[in-house]
């Protein structure tokens, strides 16, 4: 994500999530200034959720989203998001969002928002892991690979990412083979006090590392020529409020891969141990022959 002088990668992300209103229920999302071959899936999901959220009263936070990536996005042109107000009920509000480029749908999202209510509570406990301050930032961890992929591994990012185990590229060299991955994350700077922005920032980040767990078991890594991948669908359930600019643990595992696809599950915990978000994603995982 290329930045201009005085502008941080997080500033750029906040700007990316600030959609332009074209008409009622129609929004336009800009693209980052970078030489990507296709649009990052987390960007489209985050922007689409912004579009949906702007048509819903602020006292109804999002509680779930389900999305499909239909076509590779073109990073050279903006994305238009059309919102369909499917339902406005007494407790739940439902929105459908279609992302469009060149007259074709590239992305489809359905999100549900709920009036806040009390109820019985339980949650799986957060695993015992090292504190984020004891771990290296991703760009430092990947310094030995700085010359690969045009410096992609070590470039500045809007999200501070700290792996507890080995990232796929490192695991490829060390031989680590468990189909799981644990990562501390947070926005790399302070965000405004807008709950929708925090939710959309985590939605953006949730697509950054989740499919790692589908690769590590097989000794594969992104960008090495060993594997071609893309997000196919993405689902999230939001359980409690959180701040994206405070540390959160992303506990990820892959229960299955096959048929050139991989399934990954993630649990996002706040630093004080509360389960905040559950995530499931399936990705295209092809190994060139």
Amino acid 152: pLDDT: 78
Amino acid 154: pLDDT: 84
Average pLDDT over every residue of 105-120:
96
- The per-residue pLDDT for range 248-279, each reduced to its tens digit, is 999 999 999 999 999 999 999 999 999 999 99
pTM above 0.85, yes or no: yes
Contact of 202 with 267, CB cutoff 8 Å: no
- Catalytic residue set: 207, 231, 281
70 beta partners: none
pLDDT-derived band at 12 (thresholds 50, 70, 90) equals very high
For the cut 70, the answer to whether the pLDDT of residue 2 exceeds it is no
Average pLDDT over every residue of 9-26:
97
- Does 2.40.160.210 match the CATH number of domain 9-116+135-286? yes
For the cut 70, the answer to whether the pLDDT of residue 128 exceeds it is yes
For the cut 90, the answer to whether the pLDDT of residue 68 exceeds it is yes
C-alpha 104/C-alpha 180 separation (Å) is 36
- The per-residue pLDDT for range 33-58, each reduced to its tens digit, is 876 668 999 999 999 999 999 999 99
Count of beta carbons in the 10 Å neighbourhood of residue 277 = 21
H/E run at residue 80: strand 79-88
Count of beta carbons in the 10 Å neighbourhood of residue 213 = 26
Contact of 74 with 99, CB cutoff 8 Å: no
Contact of 175 with 246, CB cutoff 8 Å: no
pLDDT-derived band at 19 (thresholds 50, 70, 90) equals very high
CA 77, chain centre distance (Å) = 21
Amino acid 153: pLDDT: 80
- The per-residue pLDDT for range 237-249, each reduced to its tens digit, is 999 999 999 999 9
C-alpha 116/C-alpha 1 separation (Å) is 35
By C-alpha distance, which of 216, 238, 129 is closest to 168? 216
By C-alpha distance, which of 259, 163, 183, 175 is closest to 217? 175
Q: Where are the domains of the chain?
A: 9-116+135-286
For the cut 60, the answer to whether the pLDDT of residue 124 exceeds it is yes
- Residue with the two structure tokens 């594969």: 220
- The per-residue pLDDT for range 167-179, each reduced to its tens digit, is 999 998 888 888 9
Q: What is the DSSP letter of 10?
A: H
């Amino acid at each position: 994500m290329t930045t201009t002088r005085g502008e941080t990668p997080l500033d750029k992300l906040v700007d990316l999530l600030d959609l332009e209103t074209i008409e009622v229920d129609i929004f336009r999302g800009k693209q980052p200034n970078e030489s990507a071959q296709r649009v990052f899936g987390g960007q489209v999901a985050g922007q689409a959720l912004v579009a949906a959220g702007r048509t819903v009263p602020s006292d109804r936070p999002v509680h779930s989203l389900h999305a499909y990536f239909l076509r590779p996005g073109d990073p050279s042109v903006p994305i238009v998001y059309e919102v369909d107000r499917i339902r406005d009920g007494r407790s739940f509000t439902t929105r459908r969002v279609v992302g469009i480029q060149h007259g074709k749908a590239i992305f489809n999202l359905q999100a549900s928002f709920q009036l806040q209510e009390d109820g019985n509570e339980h949650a799986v406990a957060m695993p015992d892991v090292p504190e984020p301050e004891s771990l290296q930032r991703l760009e430092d961890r990947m310094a030995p690979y700085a010359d690969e992929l045009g410096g992609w591994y070590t470039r500045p990012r809007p999200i501070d990412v700290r792996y507890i185990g080995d990232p796929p590229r490192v695991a490829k060299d060390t031989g680590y083979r468990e189909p799981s991955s644990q990562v501390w994350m947070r926005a790399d700077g302070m965000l405004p006090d807008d709950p929708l922005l925090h939710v959309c920032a985590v939605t953006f980040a949730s697509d950054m590392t989740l499919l790692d767990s589908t690769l590590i078991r097989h000794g594969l890594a992104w960008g090495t020529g060993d594997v071609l991948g893309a997000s196919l669908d993405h689902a999230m359930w939001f359980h409690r409020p959180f701040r994206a600019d405070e540390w959160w643990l992303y506990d990820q595992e892959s229960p299955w891969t096959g048929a050139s696809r991989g399934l990954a599950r993630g649990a996002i915990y706040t630093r004080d141990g509360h389960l905040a978000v559950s995530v499931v994603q399936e990705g295209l995982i092809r190994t060139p022959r």
